[in-house]
Amino acid sequence: MAFDIEMIKAVYDRMPARIAAARALTGKPLTLTEKILYSHLWEGTPSTTFTRGGSYVDFAPDRVAMQDATAQMALLQFMQAGRPQVAVPSTVHCDHLIEAKIASTTDLKVAVDKNKEVYDFLSSVSDKYGIGFWKPGAGIIHQVVLENYAFPGGMMIGTDSHTVNAGGLGMIAIGVGGADACDVMAGLAWELKFPKLIGVKLTGKLNGWTSAKDVILKVAGILTVKGGTGCVVEYFGEGATSMSCTGKGTICNMGAEIGATTSTFGYDDSMARYLESTGRADVAALANGIREHLTADSEVYANPEAYFDQVIEINLDALEPHVNGPFTPDLATPISKLKELAIKNNWPTKVEVGLIGSCTNSSYEDIARAASLAKQVSAKGLKTKAQFTITPGSEQVRYTIERDGFISTFDSIGATVFSNACGPCIGQWARPGAEKGEKNTIVHSFNRNFAKRADGNPNTYAFVASPEIVTALAIAGDLTFNPLTDTLTNEKGEQVKLEAPTGDELPKLGFAVEDAGYQAPAEDGSGVQVKVAPTSDRLQLLAPFSAWEGTDLKGLKLLIKAKGKCTTDHISMAGPWLKYRGHLDNISNNMLIGAVNFFNEKTDNVKNQLTGVYGAVPDTQRAYKAAGIGTIVVGDTNYGEGSSREHAAMEPRHLGVRAVLVKSFARIHETNLKKQGMLALTFANEADYDKIQEDDSINILGLNDFAPEKSLTIELTHADGSTDSFPVNHTYNAQQIEWFKAGGALNIIRASIK
C-alpha cells in the first residue's frame, strides 16, 4: 500500500469538480497542466482565471520533499516558524553528502561517520515535526520519490531543482528554495506565477540505440538552457504513451536544464504498470477511476497549437542518439556529427571515464540496457578502454539489479559501483588526479555538465548522453566512436560491432529490497529535543535578517560584475562545500568564488574599494560588512541557472549584499532572493550593464514608492566624479514587497504566530 493513501484519495475526490469549474471559467478544453494547477488552488474551487506568465497564484501543494543538503537550511528555517508539526506530508532524503571514492560499502561507511552530526540533526528534526526520513544509502531523492510518493495528478514542491523528475508519473512537481518549502510545511499558501505552456508532441516510437534521454537532449538543443523559463513543458502523442514511466521521468528530470518550471506527461498504462510494480496498485486503481482527468482534454492534443504557447514536434522514429556538451547541457550534437565536431573544436577524444546512473538515469530499464552492452564485451572479445562507474538511484534498484545479475556483469568489465547517492553528478567525486587540472574528457548520463561540476577540474570536458551511449563510448574509449555504424577491434584483431541495447522496462520478478532505508517519524514528537552545538562548524541556528530601514539605498559599492554564465554552482559551489550547508556563516566563504570578474577575467578576485587591493570575493564582502557598507552584485543573462540551492541567495544576504542586478534571472534563484528580503532587479535596457564600472558608488532610488510594475532607478557615481542613471525593472508583487520590507518572508511567518 502506498504512503499517504488517504491524501491521494482526497486529491482525486475533489479533482473532477474543480476541473469542471475551471473548464467553465476558461470556456475551453484544458491541458493536463491546467487541470492540475486549477485543482490545487489555495482557494479551493476555482473562481477566476489566470494569465499565463502574468498572474501570481497561490497554490496548495500535496507534499514536500527535501534532500539532505538543502533540508538543513529549510528545516533550520522551519524551526523558527513556531509550528508543532508539518502541515503536509514531507520527507528528507540523505543523498548529497556521500562522496564517491572507492566503492559503495566503503564510501557509505565513511559518509555515515563523517556526517553523523548532520544526519542526527536531520533525523531528530524529522522525528519531532512528523517528517519521513530516508537514511544514507536509501537512494537519491528523486528516484525514491518516484518509487514511493509521486502520483498522477498530484502537486509537489521539493528543495532541489530536479524535483521535476516526478513529472514522469504525471505530477506537477516543482523545485523551490527552502523558504518556499518552509511556507508549505507551515501550512501556508505557496505562490507561483501561472506558467506559460510548451507542448511537445512525440510521434513514432523509440528504437535501437535511441532512448528517452535523447528526447530531452534534443529538446535542450532546441530550447537552450533558458528557453523553458516560466513554462511548463507537457509531452503528449503516441511517442509519449509508448515509452516507459521511468523514461518519462528522465525527460522531466532534465527539464530543469532548459529552465522549465516543470515538465509532465498524461497518465497512461506505463504509469499504471510502474505503480503496480512498485507496490502501489492501490494508487493505480484510484488513478484509473478518474483517468480522463489525469490527461489533457482530447481537443488539446488534437489541435495543440490552439492551447499551448509553443509547440515542438519530434519524430522518435527518426531521432538519433545525442551527446550534449561540453560545459553546457544544451549544446546538442547527434551522434553522427560528434566526430566531426570534436575534431573541429579540438575536444579531447580519449574518453577517460564513463559514468552512468544518478537521479536522471538509474532506472531498472536504464541499467538493464547498459548491462546488455557490458555482456557483449567478453562475448565479442573486447576490453573496456575507459574507467566505468555505476551510481544506482535507490537501494531498491540496487538490490534488484544485483539479484538479476547486472552488477556481476558490470564487475566482469572492471566497473565500480558507487553508493546509492548523488556522488559525481553533484561534485561528490574524489577523482584521483583531478587536482592536476589536466585537459580530459568524461561522458556521463547525468543532467548537468558545467565546468568543474563533476570533479572540480575546469579542464574536464564533460558530455551528457544516455546510459547506453555512455557505456558504448566507455567500451571504445573514444568520443568519436559511433556505435550505430562503427566497429571495434577485439583482442584477436577482428572487427566487431556492438549490437543495439535491450532491456526490460520493469523487472520480470518484480522489485525487491531487504531494507529500503525508511525511518518513520515519532507519532508524538513534542518531547524530541533537537540540539545544535554552538561550537559546531557544520550546523548553525539562524538569526532573523534585519528589516528594510525604510529609505533608498545609497552609497553601495560594487562587489562584482559577473561576466557570462553564472549558475548557482558559480554563486555557491557544491562538492567539498556541501558539508557547510547547515552553517550559513561558514558556507558563505564560497560566495561567488566561481563567478568571472568582468574587469580582470579572473574568478574569486575583486577590488576592495576601501583599500584598492584585489582579493577573494567573500573576504572583500566581509570587509564591506564590517565597515557597514552595503553592496550590489551585477550579472549577465539567466543569472542563477541550475540548482535550487537557496544558499546562493542566503549567503549574499548574510554578508550584506543588498541587491542583485542582472540582464535576466533563472526562476528559482529570483524567487529565493525575494524570499530572503533581497532586491532582485533587471536592466530595463541590457546595454546599461556596460555602464557599470569597477569603482562605482551606487544608489538605488524609488524604494519609498516601491510598487508592482513600477521601475526603480540606479544612480552611478564613477571614480572620476561623472554620473549615470537608468531605470531597472523588477517582478515583485504586493506580497513580495512586504517580504522585502520585513527583511524576508520568514520574518512575516514568525510575526504571524506571536
Q: Of 18, 40, 63, 96, which is the active-site residue?
A: 96
Is 645 annotated as catalytic? Answer: yes
Helix ranges restricted to H, 656-712: 667-675
CA atoms within 13 A on the CB side of 724: 16
Collect all residues with Cβ–Cβ distance below 8 Å to 450 and sequence separation of at least 6. 327, 328, 565, 567, 569, 642
> For this structure, is 711 an active site residue?
no
Catalytic residue among 4, 62, 160, 366: 160
SS3 417: strand
Name the residue among 412, 458, 416 with its Cα closest to residue 437. 458
The answer to whether the CB of 468 falls within 8 A of the CB of 211 is yes
728 Cβ contact partners less than 8 Å away, ≥ 6 residues apart: 661, 681, 682, 683, 684, 711, 712, 713, 714
- What is the edge-to-edge ordering of all strands in the sheet holding 262-265? 262-265, 231-236, 196-203, 310-315
90: left (phi over 0), alpha (psi -120 to 50) or beta: beta
- Rg of the chain over all Cα atoms, to the nearest angstrom: 25
Q: Is 695 one of the annotated active-site residues of the chain? A: no
Catalytic residue from among 293, 369, 453, 645: 645
Please confirm, yes or no, whether 322 is among the known catalytic residues: no
Burial class (CB in 10 A: 0-12, 13-18, 19+), 24: exposed
- First-last CA distance in the chain: 40
Residues sharing a CB contact under 8 Å with residue 80, sequence separation 6 or more, in sequence order: 542, 544, 746, 749, 750
Contact in structure between 450 and 642 (CB atoms under 8 Å): yes
Residues 258, 511: Cα–Cα separation, whole Å: 32
Q: Do 618 and 590 touch, CB atoms closer than 8 A? A: yes
Catalytic residue among 643, 644, 653, 696: 643
Please give the angle made by the CA atoms of 440, 445 and 446, to the nearest 5 degrees.
Answer: 90
Question: CB-based contacts of 279: which residues, under 8 Å, 6+ apart?
Answer: 1, 2, 511
Contact (Cβ atoms closer than 8 angstroms) between residue 409 and residue 443: no
- Widest CA span of the chain, in angstroms? 80
Q: For residue 698, what are the contacts with CB-CB under 8 A and spacing of at least 6?
A: 555, 556, 557, 558, 632, 692, 714, 715, 716, 717
Q: Closest Cα partner for 326 from 445, 449, 457, 482?
A: 449
Identify the active-site residue in 18, 431, 448, 538: 448
Residue 488, SS3? strand
In degrees rounded to 5, what are phi and psi of residue 114? -65, -35
Cα 276 → chain centroid = 27
Cβ burial 345-357 (10 Å sphere, 16+ → b, else e)? eebbbebbbbbbb
Which is the catalytic residue, given 62, 68, 95, 297? 95
Beta strand extents in 302-347 (DSSP E only): 310-315, 322-324, 332-334
For the annotated catalytic residues, the residue numbers are 95-96, 160, 448, 643, 645
